[in-house]
Amino acid sequence: MKNILVINSGSSSLKFQLIEMPSEKVLASGLVERIGLETGKVHYKSEKFSTSEEMQVKNHSVALKKVTKYLMDPENGVISDPSEIPAIGHRVVHGGDAFSDTVVIDEKVKATVKELFSLAPLHNPPNLNGIEVAEEIFPQAKQVAVFDTAFHQSIPSEANRYAIPNEFYEKHHIQVYGFHGTSHKYVSEKATEMLSKANSKLITVHLGNGCSITAVKNGKSVDHSLGFGPVNGLIMGTRSGDIDQSVIFYLIEQLGYTAKEVSDLLHHKSGMLGLTGYSDLRDIEEQAEKGNRECQLALDMNAYRIKKYIGAYAAAMNGLDAVVFTAGIGENSNVIRKLVCSDMDYLGIELDLEKNDERSKENREISKLDSKVKVLVIPTNEELEIAKQTFAMIS
């Protein structure tokens, strides 16, 4: 048995799980939030102890040191020494075209992650910071990087290239990279197990505040809705998803917006928030039920966009075995699943409404027994996937 510490460093947060492998037992988990602000919060949970503590957390180093203190607490901790953690798995959002798989981190890897800051300015800098802090606190542990983009490196050229002059691809590496790859990989593997069919054609639908959809053929990502950055594709909590490029030119040239203002608009003020004033889907569903037409329209638009991608990906793969819903909205919103799967019988998708309404945290099938295409709900577990890949690197 080996303990794998999984770290997901955000700009002002640090999520963690300590997982015993290969048993996959979660020994401890938690979140440090509001890092760098006047008042931070540390959440920690293990089998025998849980707490939430308010304190100032100046930086990620302070955050991880606090987590380590909880892990090694003489009375309530789960380990007695840092050496009991032989490896640490880090989520790194953007690996560009440099990384197609999980890697043990060295100076060259860190330098490449730094070079990619411009492609993921909100994510890669704190990801690298988390790595450097972990190296300081756990010098004896192997540091392993698991890239969100790696799973999508298998997307073929006809699907990952943009129809712009070749020099932008060759010199500047502008192409589809994709995101949420760790989640799509995890749920597609679970779906393959549930179907007992190795050569399967799946569409995995990751719906949270950020949303994406992937065509997975025989275990490989072959197309994906997010591209060079994380703003296109499906309608998200605050992100617009697909939009006519002419709208961007119009905003700049006719309405006087700067490029930075347009970026902020499309990333932080659009999507469900822009359509309804709410970014949390639970609030939108509640308002729609009360007769709010804007909220109902937003739900219809959201589902319609997903349906279009399902149709396109079924055509691209020349078939479909299952549609898989995952992440916070995908796992919990029976409303969105119903809207997406309605009037899809031509593709062989027939939802069982009673199964769809059931509340469960388990992997489950919610389609009718005779549905040609299965509809599955599989809770994602990115931390476990990172732990599995990290464990494989040291075994």
Of the pLDDT bands very low, low, confident and very high (cuts 50, 70, 90), residue 292 is very high
Q: How many whole angstroms separate alpha carbon 46 and alpha carbon 70?
A: 10
Q: Region 314-329: what's the mean pLDDT?
A: 96
Helices (H), 213-290: 245-253, 259-268, 271-276, 281-289
Angle between helix 281-289 and helix 334-341 axes, rounded to 10 deg: 70
Does residue 80 sit in the same domain as residue 194? no
- Least reliable range by pLDDT among 155-164, 229-238, 315-324: 229-238
Q: How many whole angstroms separate alpha carbon 272 and alpha carbon 139?
A: 44
For residue range 266-276, list pLDDT tens digits in order. Answer: 988 999 999 99
Burial of 14 (0-12, 13-18, 19+ CB in 10 A): buried
Residue at 203 is within a domain: yes
Q: How many whole angstroms separate alpha carbon 68 and alpha carbon 47?
A: 16
Residue at 162 is within a domain: no
> How does DSSP classify residue 35?
T
Does residue 28 sit in the same domain as residue 140? yes
For residue range 119-161, list pLDDT tens digits in order. Answer: 777 778 888 988 998 998 899 999 999 998 999 999 999 999 9
Neighbours of 187 (CB within 10 A): 32
Residue at 129 is within a domain: yes
Question: Using CA of residue 144, residue 146, residue 151, residue 157, what is the dihedral sign?
Answer: negative
Does residue 119 sit in the same domain as residue 186? no
Q: What is the H or E stretch that residue 164 is in?
A: none
Contact indicator for 119, 96 with CB cutoff of 8 Å: yes
Annotated binding site for Mg(2+): 8, 382
Does residue 209 sit in the same domain as residue 141? no
Does residue 356 sit in the same domain as residue 227? yes
Contact indicator for 240, 266 with CB cutoff of 8 Å: yes
Annotated binding site for ATP: 15, 206-210, 280-282, 328-332
Which residue has 């995908």 as its token pair?
Answer: 330
Distance between alpha carbon 180 and the CA centroid of its chain, in Å? 3
Annotated binding site for substrate: 91
Does residue 371 sit in the same domain as residue 273? yes
Contact indicator for 63, 35 with CB cutoff of 8 Å: yes
Q: Region 276-291: what's the mean pLDDT?
A: 93
Does residue 363 sit in the same domain as residue 269? yes
Does residue 186 sit in the same domain as residue 268? yes
Active site residue 97: no
Residue 282: pLDDT above 80? yes
Residue at 154 is within a domain: no
Q: How many whole angstroms separate alpha carbon 344 and alpha carbon 341?
A: 6
- Domain hosting 116: range is 2-147
Does residue 280 sit in the same domain as residue 189? yes
Does residue 38 sit in the same domain as residue 113? yes
Residue 10: pLDDT above 80? no
Catalytic site residue from 148, 300, 321, 345: 148
Does residue 198 sit in the same domain as residue 126? no
Domain CATH code at residue 297 = 3.30.420.40
To the nearest whole number, what is the mean pLDDT of the chain? Answer: 92
Question: Using CA of residue 55, residue 61, residue 67, residue 70, what is the dihedral sign?
Answer: negative
The amino acid at 200: S
Residue at 140 is within a domain: yes
Pairing relationship of beta strands 87-92 and 50-55 according to DSSP bridges:
unpaired
Residue 294: pLDDT above 70? yes
Per-residue pLDDT, 373: 97
Total domains, the chain: 2
Residue at 29 is within a domain: yes
Residue 228: pLDDT above 70? yes
Does residue 362 sit in the same domain as residue 214? yes
**359-363 CB contacts, 8 Å cutoff, 24+ apart:** 361/331, 363/190, 363/194
Helices (H), 174-289: 181-195, 245-253, 259-268, 271-276, 281-289
Q: How many whole angstroms separate alpha carbon 92 and alpha carbon 103?
A: 11
For residue range 45-102, list pLDDT tens digits in order. Answer: 998 899 998 998 888 888 888 999 999 998 889 998 888 999 999 999 888 888 888 9
Per-residue pLDDT, 11: 66
Domain boundary among 92, 125, 147: 147
Per-residue pLDDT, 167: 96
Q: Region 304-327: what's the mean pLDDT?
A: 97
Residue 339: pLDDT above 70? yes
Q: How many whole angstroms separate alpha carbon 275 and alpha carbon 291?
A: 15
Q: Region 203-229: what's the mean pLDDT?
A: 94
Cβ-Cβ contacts under 8 Å for 276 (sequence gap 6 or more): 284, 287, 292, 294, 295, 298
**Which candidate, 58, 28, 57, places its Cα nearest to that of 42?**
57
On the CB side of 299, how many CA atoms lie within 13 Å of its CA?
24
Neighbours of 7 (CB within 10 A): 24
Tell me the backbone φ, ψ of residue 160, rounded to 5 degrees: -105, 0
Residue at 155 is within a domain: no
Residue at 392 is within a domain: no
Annotated binding site: 8, 15, 91, 206-210, 280-282, 328-332, 382
Residue 376: pLDDT above 80? yes
